[in-house]
Amino acid sequence: MTLSRSRLETARSLLFVPGDRPDRFAKAASAGADAVIVDLEDAVAAQDKDLARDNVAAWLGAGNSAVVRINAPGTAWSDADLEVAARFSVPVMVPKSEDPAVLAQLSRRTARKCPLIPLVETAAGVERALALCATPGAVRLAFGNADLSSQLGVAHDDHMALAYARSKLVSASAATGLCPPVDGVTTSVKDSDALTADIAHARRLGFTGKLCIHPAQVAAVTAQFAPTERELRWARAVVEAGESVTVVDGQMVDKPVLERARRILAARG
């Protein structure tokens, strides 16, 4: 299935698969994720970068679709990675995104054929989130909690320590009219409680999707980022109450509340 801009905007689960493991590509594609990210960056050792790129080109050339996480601009492999993505007009995840001018250049070099997902994983990127969102070609921010936490000297799974950075991405996205961002990874692959807690925290802050590092995480992420039955019942009641200021379940409903209810119902699909 083609990863259109609208599909990227509504994706809840985005699953990484290493570019040097073509034997895992089909398994990742069948895992039920809303999008698969074939990774040419962190998951691939330097000596395997060229082979991984060839693997990805072959996969895309066979008619498959994926997001391509290229190596960071300025590295020895980035230009060739970008050429492969542009050849097949697939979305590009840009690691270490912190300079809007660099993002704009990438968009121009692909003739705007490749929607960009800036991966914000540095302090500079967090502070420039507003400018990154406003860059032509940017479709949705993603949060790189692992790299950012290392730079900040905090734990990658510390909700409080990274709350400012997460909220900055959510606020910047809303301010520029971009769809809500994608949260970072949960590294505890077998710890379902940790995954559930991370999802709940991200949802509370305004994220609407999450990066996954293992197929076992996909189902929980997809389900738990969906509106709950309780949220849907509330939203239906609010919408059915009409446009005028009224009271639903003992709470005042005005235009902002009505708009939130409509967003919840839209997210149902």
pLDDT digits (tens, 9 = 90+) for 135-176: 999 999 999 999 999 999 999 999 999 999 999 999 999 999
**The pLDDT of residue 227:** 74
170 and 247 housed in the same domain: no
215 and 260 housed in the same domain: no
Mean residue pLDDT across the chain: 91
Among 55-64, 73-82, 105-114, 253-262, the minimum mean pLDDT is found in: 253-262
pLDDT mean over 53-68: 97
Does residue 185 contact residue 191 with C-beta atoms inside 8 Å?
no
pTM of the model: 0.88
pLDDT digits (tens, 9 = 90+) for 190-247: 999 999 999 999 999 999 999 999 999 999 999 999 876 676 675 677 676 666 556 6
113 and 236 housed in the same domain: no
188 and 56 housed in the same domain: yes
**The pLDDT of residue 193:** 97
CATH number at residue 58: 3.20.20.60
Which tokens sit at 25?
């590509």
141 and 36 housed in the same domain: yes
Residue 153: how many other CB atoms lie within 10 Å: 7
* Burial of residue 186, with CB atoms counted within 10 A of its CB: 0-12 exposed, 13-18 middle, 19 or more buried: buried
**The pLDDT of residue 249:** 66
Q: Is the dihedral of CA 52, 53, 56, 58 positive or negative?
A: negative
Q: Is the dihedral of CA 24, 26, 30, 36 positive or negative?
A: positive
252: confidence class by pLDDT, cuts 50, 70, 90:
low
Give residue 246's domain range: 227-269
State how far the Cα of 162 lies from the Cα of 160, in Å rounded to an integer: 5
**The pLDDT of residue 243:** 66
